[in-house]
A = this chain, B = another copy of it.
Amino acid sequence: MKSPSGEIPQYLLIKAQLQDRIARGALKSGDKLPSERELCALFNTTRVTIRESLAQLEAGGLIWRADRRGWFVSPDRLWLDPTQNTNFHKLCQEQGRTPKTVLLEGRVAPVPVEVMTPLALQPFDQIYLLTRLRYADDRAICYCENHCLPARVPDLLGHDLNGSLTEVYQRYYDLVYTSMHLSFWPTAMPAQAAAALGVMEGRPALMLRRLNYDQHGRILDFDIEYWRHDSLRIEVDTH
């Protein structure tokens, strides 16, 4: 059955029907959608078409896919005011979610080129590179690389980095995030972040870069974060 000329394409009709079921609560946050082949049978079409509908719902942040496990209805977005110096754990708790941060790797590394300029370093300077994964309600939603200056936080790797970095800074180094320069834009999920988050490489993501300053106005560290694009809403208040 072709979509006749001038009409709305099938995949948009299917998308609308699925969207409707989600809006009406017939499919709730966390629910698994029927398998692609079941959807094919339901809507009497082929997988290519079904997958076009699913991809659009994914782009809209209504559903997400767990690699090879199927499609699920997305939970509500976490929201974040980047100008407030709150940390991830507090944020989650205020919004009724259960936070978790896991250190994937912590090591000394030469400064990556794209981080060199913001951190005002030379090509072969060394930094602490922390790779961490953030969860809300046991769903991995953010892959995070912290580039920290050994001059500011000597022996950083000796501490437990599975929690809030803010608190480690404050407790052991007497350093407080005070201001920052933040930039972000939609991008494609890079391979490493994709693998850690269990999403597919190249799918839409939200990239966030943050250059942090301490209470003395000195550069403190530089973060690069990749968020699942359905998991975050940014709120800024200039009052």
Residues of A within 8 A of B (CB): 12, 15, 48, 55-57, 59-61, 77, 79, 82-83, 179-188, 201-204, 206, 213, 229-230, 232-239
B182 near A204: Cβ-Cβ < 8 Å: no
Nearest B residue to A228 via CB reads B186
Query: What's the least CB distance linking A10 to chain B, in Å?
Result: 13
A181 near B233: Cβ-Cβ < 8 Å: no
Q: How far is the CA of A186 from the CA of B203 in the complex (A)?
A: 13
B239 near A59: Cβ-Cβ < 8 Å: no
A229 near B186: Cβ-Cβ < 8 Å: yes
Contact of A61 among B185, B201, B230 (CB under 8 A): B185
Query: What's the least CB distance linking A87 to chain B, in Å?
Result: 15
Q: List 25 A-B contacts (CB under 8 A).
A: A48-B48, A56-B202, A59-B202, A59-B204, A61-B188, A82-B236, A82-B238, A83-B83, A179-B239, A180-B238, A181-B235, A181-B236, A181-B237, A181-B238, A182-B234, A182-B237, A182-B238, A183-B234, A183-B235, A185-B232, A185-B233, A186-B186, A186-B206, A186-B229, A204-B229
Specify which chain B residues have a CB less than 8 angstroms from the CB of A213 in the assembled complex.
Answer: 239
Specify which chain B residues have a CB less than 8 angstroms from the CB of A57 in the assembled complex.
Answer: 188
Specify which chain B residues have a CB less than 8 angstroms from the CB of A83 in the assembled complex.
Answer: 83, 236, 238
Q: How far is the CA of A229 from the CA of B185 in the complex (A)?
A: 8
Query: What's the least CB distance linking A20 to chain B, in Å?
Result: 15
Specify which chain B residues have a CB less than 8 angstroms from the CB of A188 in the assembled complex.
Answer: 56-57, 59-61
- A-B pairs, top 4 by smallest CB distance, nearest first, are A60-B188, A56-B202, A185-B233, A182-B236
Specify which chain B residues have a CB less than 8 angstroms from the CB of A229 in the assembled complex.
Answer: 186, 204
Query: What's the least CB distance linking A34 to chain B, in Å?
Result: 21
Specify which chain B residues have a CB less than 8 angstroms from the CB of A48 in the assembled complex.
Answer: 48
Specify which chain B residues have a CB less than 8 angstroms from the CB of A232 in the assembled complex.
Answer: 185
10 more A-B contacts (CB under 8 A) besides A179-B239, A182-B234, A234-B234? A12-B201, A12-B202, A60-B202, A183-B234, A183-B235, A185-B233, A186-B204, A186-B229, A186-B230, A204-B229
